[in-house]
Amino acid sequence: MAKGFIDLAGELQEIKQQNLYRSRRVISTPQGVEITVDGQAVINFSSNDYLGLANHPDVIASFKRATDKFGVGSGSAHLICGHSASHHALEEELAEFTGRDRVLLFSTGYMANLGVISALLGRGDQVFQDRLNHASLLDAGLLSGARFKRYFHNDLLDLNKKIKPIEGRTLIVTDGVFSMDGDVAPLTELSALAKEKNAWLMVDDAHGLGVLGESGAGVLQKNRLTQQDVPILMGTLGKGFGTFGAFVAGSDVLIETLIQKARSYVFTTALPAAVAEATRTSLKLVIEESWRREKLRSLAKRFRLGAGQLGLSLMSSDSAIQPILIGESQRAVEISEALLSKGFLVTAIRPPTVPKGGARLRVTFSANHQPQHVDQLLDALDNISV
Ligand SMILES: *Cc1c(COP(=O)(O)O)cnc(C)c1O
């Protein structure tokens, strides 16, 4: 073996010793509440398909109709010849949905975050990020070349202290709903601080879209924050919407800038048009079927009540993400494996995804769960004596 690969084997061994080794499970059914994992039937509490739309018959039918009409591949980037009428219509519908002037589709949320932050910032600018922000935001901040500072989680005093006026641009970035904690950023206060400091505010609402707000338009709708309050909104389509892709919403000037300068937009193939058509149908379901949001709230409430009675360590969340804090990685993995042997898929989340000593079981709900699924999970947690 070449020397470099011997080093890699050593590194892998170290990751194993720290109980941080990751491996993939093979799913042989559609995404949903009941899935088959490595040949075993389980109840799924790990998916981000919060509204249960990933395998919805109407979404599937739209996808199939669109592949009959448009085929599979989009053929090129949006700026060459890949931008179809389906993409265009979805952008317009998402702009109306989010109450923003315009929307730009990206192929993934990771790429949207890289594209936005590195298009807006460079050397001489500064970016402030909540320390629990999603990895794609942190990576984007580093890639941009701007001065990069993290502030303590949801800590406005710390952020206020750290922001110094500079010649260049200042951007504050936060998750709307934090992906591994389920809590919400203090957006009204962040927006006021951003205005005071003459900074832009960007919110990544991957986990709030579809789930929060009257018509599912997310954490900004819930907090009644307009485009003036939060000029840059990023949303993903692979979670609550149940499809794939992402978008950025904001002013005409913002979107035009991204079309010119966001490298992860310019230099990549457009989503298949069929994904855009499937998402247009998802969007209708998101808006019209508010029972899905209500169901999520009642499932989370039922779980929190029961988990509290078992003395489990919950986090302050009223979203579809309800983590149980464990602490040690090894213990989190053991509990996750014990749950799996009882037929429940609950992933252990370990560093570096969460801070050291902060390993947890990330329980997520779907609108397709039934109350008895929650009760069964609570029974299993009780039996394992977490
Ligand atoms: C999942 C996620 C992303 C990345 O979105 P993808 O479409 O999966 O690439 C970005 N930000 C947050 C907060 C996320 O949870």
Read off the pLDDT of residues 33-73 as tens digits, 9 standing for 90 and up. 999 999 999 999 999 999 999 999 999 999 999 999 999 99
| CA 339 – CA 84 distance, rounded (Å) | 45
Last residue within a domain, chosen from 267, 288, 309: 288
| CA 371 – CA 336 distance, rounded (Å) | 21
Sheet with 359-364, strands from edge to edge, namely 321-327, 359-364, 347-349
pLDDT attached to residue 99: 98
Whether the Cβ atoms of residue 131 and residue 356 lie closer than 8 Å to each other = no
Residue in 171, 181, 179, 228 with CA at minimum distance from that of residue 202: 171
| CA 292 – CA 364 distance, rounded (Å) | 14
pLDDT attached to residue 1: 61
pLDDT above 80 for 325: yes
| CA 200 – CA 171 distance, rounded (Å) | 5
Active-site residue, 76 included: no
Q: Is the CB of 115 under 6 A from ligand 1?
A: no
Residue in 293, 315, 309 with CA at minimum distance from that of residue 365: 293
Q: Is the CB of 179 under 6 A from ligand 1?
A: yes
Distance in Å, CA 134 to ligand 1 centroid: 7
Q: How many CA atoms lie within 13 A of 193 on its CB side?
A: 23
Active-site residue, 179 included: yes
Q: Is the CB of 136 under 6 A from ligand 1?
A: yes
Q: Is the CB of 108 under 6 A from ligand 1?
A: yes
Mean pLDDT of 158-182: 97
Could you tell me if 325 and 342 lie in one domain? yes
Mean pLDDT of 97-126: 98
Whether the Cβ atoms of residue 44 and residue 33 lie closer than 8 Å to each other = yes
Q: Which atom belonging to ligand 1 lies closest to the Cα atom of 111?
A: 9
Could you tell me if 240 and 324 lie in one domain? no
pLDDT attached to residue 369: 98
Could you tell me if 135 and 89 lie in one domain? yes
Going 75 to 80 to 82 to 85, the CA torsion angle's sign is negative
In DSSP terms, 40 is beta-bridged to 37
Could you tell me if 36 and 97 lie in one domain? no
**Amino acid sitting at position 155:** D
Average pLDDT, rounded, for the chain: 96
pLDDT above 70 for 259: yes
Q: Which helix or strand (DSSP H or E) is residue 352 part of?
A: none
The pLDDT confidence band at residue 3, using thresholds 50, 70 and 90, is confident
In DSSP terms, 104 is beta-bridged to 248
Q: Which atom belonging to ligand 1 lies closest to the Cα atom of 239?
A: 1
Q: Is the bond preceding residue 352 a cis peptide, omega within 30 degrees?
A: yes
In DSSP terms, 36 is beta-bridged to 41
The pLDDT confidence band at residue 214, using thresholds 50, 70 and 90, is very high
> Any residues with CB less than 8 A from the CB of 285 and at least 6 apart, and which?
51, 53, 56, 58, 59, 292
The pLDDT confidence band at residue 4, using thresholds 50, 70 and 90, is confident
Distance in Å, CA 146 to ligand 1 centroid: 22
Active-site residue, 69 included: no
Could you tell me if 47 and 84 lie in one domain? no
Cα Rg of the chain, angstroms: 21
Distance in Å, CA 44 to ligand 1 centroid: 20
From 78, 239, 369, 373, the catalytic residue: 239
Kindly state whether residue 192 falls inside one of the protein's structural domains: yes
Mean pLDDT of 116-139: 97
Q: Is the CB of 347 under 6 A from ligand 1?
A: no
Could you tell me if 228 and 322 lie in one domain? no
Q: What is the span of the domain harbouring residue 149?
A: 57-288
From 107, 179, 282, 329, the catalytic residue: 179
pLDDT attached to residue 308: 96
Last residue within a domain, chosen from 288, 319, 338: 288
What total number of domains does the chain contain? 2
Q: Is the CB of 246 under 6 A from ligand 1?
A: yes
Could you tell me if 271 and 283 lie in one domain? yes
Could you tell me if 369 and 275 lie in one domain? no
Residue 31, judged by CB atoms within 10 A of its CB (0-12, 13-18, 19+), counts as middle
Q: Is the bond preceding residue 30 a cis peptide, omega within 30 degrees?
A: no
From 56, 207, 295, 373, the catalytic residue: 207
